[in-house]
Amino acid sequence: MHLNEWAFVGVLLAISAILPVVPMVLGWLLGPRKPNPLKSDTYECGIETVGDAWVQFRVQYYVFALVFVVFDVEVALLFPWAVAFGNMGLFAFVAAAVFILLLAVELVYIWRKGALEWM
Amino acid sequence: MELTAEIVVFAVFSIITLTGGVGVALTRNLFRSALMLLVSLFGVAGLFVLLAAPFLAAVQVLIYMGAIAILIIFAVMLTRGMVTARRVMNDQWSVAAVVALFLFAVLAVIFVQVGQGESAVLPLNPTGDPPADGTAALGQALLDPAQYVLPFEVAALLLAGVLSGAIYIARDDEPDEPSQTRG
Amino acid sequence: MLKEALIQAGMQPGWAAFIDIFLGVLVAASFGMVWVLFGIWVERKMAARVQDRIGPNRVGPWGLIQNIADALKLLTKEVIVPRNADRPVYFAAPILAVVGVILIAAVIPFSPVVIGTDLSIGILYVIAVGAFGVIAVLMAGWGSNNKYALLGAFRVVAHLVSYEVPMVLALLVPVMLAGTMSMQGLVREQHIWYIFAVPVTAFLFFISSQAEVGRAPFDLLEAESELVAGYNIEYSGMVWAMFYLGEFMHAFFVSILFAVLFLGGWSGPGAEQIPFLGIVYLMLKSMLVYFVQIWLRLTVPRVRIDQLLAFNWKFLVPLALANVLLMAFLFKIIPTPDFAGAQAIATNEFAGVAGGIYRLFGPNQIAELPRTGLLLLGNIALVGVTAALLGQAGRRARRQVEALVDETDYTPRAEGAEHTAEAPAAAAR
């Protein structure tokens, strides 16, 4: 049954979640535990912290993530095509080519419009 | 109903999904809420595996957890001051409760009908096993002119629309910047 | 094999299967951790030699025990949790980072019969598991309650997420050539290693996987000279060690992936008959790739974040898209190799010299040769076009810079009145 394949993954997931916990707990137990206010301060290159842990979140981060989502979905749709491509005719190629070219053109468009600049 | 491994796994992933879902709604901290969303999405991926759709499970993890949830977290970060909400700010919870109960009633009726085999759209025992290589079959279907090739191409157009949205967002910061100075 | 033995010993089949899986999982999970002890030593020694020094040589013969000493040291370090850190998130992040890497080991085909599980979606599973690592970074940055950690985490996520695109685009090509996503399938279908058929794809995968793992020239993830340690700032002791461990394991697993996808995995003379040889071949090929990784890392300087992202979106992604299109086109117009015919010639006793050659090199390999050659030609053409376009872009940039230089007035100005007379003239230009 198909589920049998995934049994390994399930058990591996459980084991690999426990595996790093062991050294971490060991480190917690074996290491010294002398908290003092200076050590627990947030690190800011050795000077006193100023303000909350909130940063000016520039919109570029969001834009790159958004472009990534688009290409991720594109590739997810292309994977079944890649698997089945060997047995399919020229029409499949043309359809996929249209798909890829649409997105390539769009990439060039957003490039030209400057959405891919970091600053 | 005997206690097969399938039932146990189904129960585990259902609990994960539901816990995540409830956690999204009940957590005060917005970031924790987003993390509970991730938990819920992971549960759904597990349910996909149980439904013999490993491709969808992988796509769920790859896109929903690895891209969309991240986008949501970024959006959470963009709204400053929202990350540590100290009180419930929504006054419409009574209306929301009524709508939610109504929706629940509708879904419950549908599921009971399906469970008793009375639904024509979702029969209880669909014929045949899932194809051995589901992904190849999916690929064939996606590009078959008689099946799903048109939605396939329309999806590309939709994605192109999203990219245009990205331009708009990126442009938002500097409306005075003339476009000639850019690449 | 173990399962059958246990069943014969009287254990129920369900439990026998479970024990079988459990032991396999233990091997898979510890494989990475055990290797890391050796791999880090290799890396440090090589780095040392490249930098004209000796590297660790005090602890144990040739410093081999150095890593164990380091691990013991880390165990005894205090774990300093910053004030107001989000503890569940803070501690879950390194666990998730390690989980995201170890899960890859489930599908690595060590030999024709040794594989955790041959999922039908093998390679897609590997990519999906990478999402866990990205989430772990965000959690680490957030949970540390430190603005530098958060800033570092954002940059890292933007970086990781960007380089995933050319990587998955590149992965489309081996999947297309093999017609399957399963890892064993990818190895078996490589009668001739894919690196010879689609070198551009191999290059794309190699570069983007280096960026995914955070190796130089893309090691902004740590950016030791900027943002201190990025999202790792507030982690110490064994908790930090988990991130470090995860990174190294990921680097090694990525080299194994390259070997599986482009260097034929466990294939080699005699691999089918003696499974152990398969493991040996795979390890040899992976270590070769790992060696190239370290070599690259030690040779080139780090790039800036904007150069990093520009390189990805303006070069790698368009190249990857063009590559997929071109390979798909060539794959369609080149006729499929005639495996049956090649087999017939090999087994035909009267074929003489031709039969001998076919038997020597393997009939499937020879049948595959024309397609590989044509794909290779396509790749060379792609490289040529890319180089021409790059040259054009480079010349255009150079002309822009030269125009800027020509505009600037470099005549030396004398003091006093001449100075004020020159300045408006220069400004007017």
Residue C206, helix vs strand vs coil: helix
Residue B27, helix vs strand vs coil: coil
CA–CA distance, C161 with C212 (Å, rounded to integer) = 8
Tens of pLDDT along C303-331? 777 788 888 888 899 999 999 999 888 88
Q: List, in order, residues 6 or more apart from C263 with CB less than 8 Å away.
A: C193, C195, C285, C288, C289
Q: What is the rounded average pLDDT of the residues C85-92?
A: 81
Q: Residue C251 carries which side chain, given as an amino acid letter?
A: A
CB contact under 8 A, C161 and B70: yes
What pLDDT is stored for residue C205 in this prediction?
A: 93
In terms of Cα–Cα distance, which of C39, C287, C331 is closest to C178?
C331
CB contact under 8 A, A33 and C331: no
User: B7 in contact with C at a CB cutoff of 8 Å?
Assistant: no
Asked whether the beta carbons of C163 and C212 are under 8 A apart, the reply is yes
Q: Residue C86 carries which side chain, given as an amino acid letter?
A: D
pLDDT of C228 above 60: no
What pLDDT is stored for residue A7 in this prediction?
A: 82
Angle, CA B86 vertex, CA B81 and CA B90 arms, to 5°: 90
CB contact under 8 A, A3 and B78: no
pLDDT of C167 above 90: yes
Share of chain C above pLDDT 90, in %: 13
Structure tokens at C291: 């060696």
CA distance C53 to chain A (A): 30
What pLDDT is stored for residue B130 in this prediction?
A: 63
Tens of pLDDT along B94-107? 888 899 999 999 99
What pLDDT is stored for residue B178 in this prediction?
A: 42
pLDDT of C421 above 60: no
State the DSSP string of C344-379: HHHH-GGGHHHHHHHHHH-HHHHHHHHHHHHHHHHH
What pLDDT is stored for residue C172 in this prediction?
A: 92
Share of chain C above pLDDT 70, in %: 83
CA–CA distance, B19 with B17 (Å, rounded to integer) = 6
Share of chain B above pLDDT 70, in %: 76
In terms of Cα–Cα distance, which of C157, B61, C133, C3 is closest to A66?
C157
Q: Which residue has the higher pLDDT, C344 or B157?
A: B157
User: A51 in contact with B at a CB cutoff of 8 Å?
Assistant: no
Question: If residue C120 lies in a helix (H) or strand (E), which one and from where to where?
Answer: none
CA distance A1 to chain C (A): 12
The domains of chain C are located at 1-75, 77-333, 338-408+423-429
For domain A2-112, give its CATH number from 2.60.40.3880, 3.40.109.10, 1.20.58.1610, 3.30.43.10.
1.20.58.1610
Q: What is the rounded average pLDDT of the residues A98-107?
A: 89
What is each CA distance from B103 to A50, B98, C92, in whole angstroms?
48, 9, 35
CA distance A91 to chain C (A): 10
Tens of pLDDT along B106-119? 999 888 887 777 66
Q: What is the rounded average pLDDT of the residues C273-296?
A: 87
In terms of Cα–Cα distance, which of A32, B27, A43, A45 is closest to C83?
A43
Q: Which residues of B touch A110 (CB under 8 A)?
A: 163-164, 166-167
Q: Which residue has the higher pLDDT, C425 or B58?
A: B58
Give C301: exposed, middle or buried? Use CB within 10 Å, 0-12, 13-18, 19+. exposed
The dihedral through the CA atoms of C394, C400, C401, C402 has a sign that is positive
Structure tokens at C305: 């974040």
pLDDT of C202 above 60: yes
Angle, CA B87 vertex, CA B85 and CA B91 arms, to 5°: 115
Output b/e per residue, C77-87; b: 16+ Cβ within 10 A. Answer: bbbbbbeebbe
Candidates A10, A66, A99; nearest CB to B162: A66
Can you say how many angstroms the Cα of residue C67 is from the centroid of all Cα atoms in its chain?
23
CA–CA distance, C162 with C320 (Å, rounded to integer) = 13
CA–CA distance, C133 with C295 (Å, rounded to integer) = 25
- The phi, psi pair for C115, rounded to 5°, reads -155, 145
CA dihedral A7, A11, A13, A15 (to 10 degrees): -170
Tens of pLDDT along A10-19? 888 888 888 8
What pLDDT is stored for residue C55 in this prediction?
A: 75
Q: What is the rounded average pLDDT of the residues B134-153?
A: 80
Q: Residue C96 carries which side chain, given as an amino acid letter?
A: L
Residue of B nearest to A70 (CA): B159
What pLDDT is stored for residue C359 in this prediction?
A: 67
What pLDDT is stored for residue B99 in this prediction?
A: 93
CA distance A95 to chain C (A): 11
What pLDDT is stored for residue C300 in this prediction?
A: 83
pLDDT of A89 above 80: no
What pLDDT is stored for residue B183 in this prediction?
A: 34
CA–CA distance, C354 with C357 (Å, rounded to integer) = 5
Candidates C120, C157, C161; nearest CB to B133: C120
What pLDDT is stored for residue C114 in this prediction?
A: 76
In terms of Cα–Cα distance, which of C208, C166, C211, C169 is closest to C305?
C211
Asked whether the beta carbons of B55 and B138 are under 8 A apart, the reply is yes
Asked whether the beta carbons of C139 and C89 are under 8 A apart, the reply is yes
What pLDDT is stored for residue A87 in this prediction?
A: 79
Largest CA distance in chain C: 107
User: C183 in contact with B at a CB cutoff of 8 Å?
Assistant: no
Structure tokens at B106: 């509708």
pTM for the full predicted model: 0.86
Average pLDDT along chain C:
80
Residues in chain B: 183
CB contact under 8 A, B139 and A84: yes
What pLDDT is stored for residue B182 in this prediction?
A: 35
Tens of pLDDT along A27-85? 777 777 776 666 666 665 555 555 554 556 677 888 888 889 999 999 999 999 888 88
Of B85-94, C144-153, C326-335, minimum mean pLDDT range: B85-94
pLDDT of B175 above 50: no
Q: Which residue has the higher pLDDT, B177 or B102?
A: B102
Residue C214, helix vs strand vs coil: coil
Candidates C128, C135, C179; nearest CB to B38: C135
Block residue for tokens 């908290």? A35
Asked whether the beta carbons of C205 and C259 are under 8 A apart, the reply is no
CB contact under 8 A, C135 and B69: yes
Q: pLDDT band at residue B179, thresholds of 50, 70 and 90?
A: very low
Output b/e per residue, C140-153; b: 16+ Cβ within 10 A. Answer: bbbbbbbbbbbbbb
User: C380 in contact with A at a CB cutoff of 8 Å?
Assistant: no
What pLDDT is stored for residue C171 in this prediction?
A: 92
Q: Which residue has the higher pLDDT, C236 or B132?
A: C236
CA distance A55 to chain C (A): 6
Tens of pLDDT along C39-75? 888 888 888 888 888 777 777 777 777 777 777 787 7
Q: Which residue has the higher pLDDT, C263 or C37?
A: C263
Task: Give ipTM to 2 decimals.
Answer: 0.86
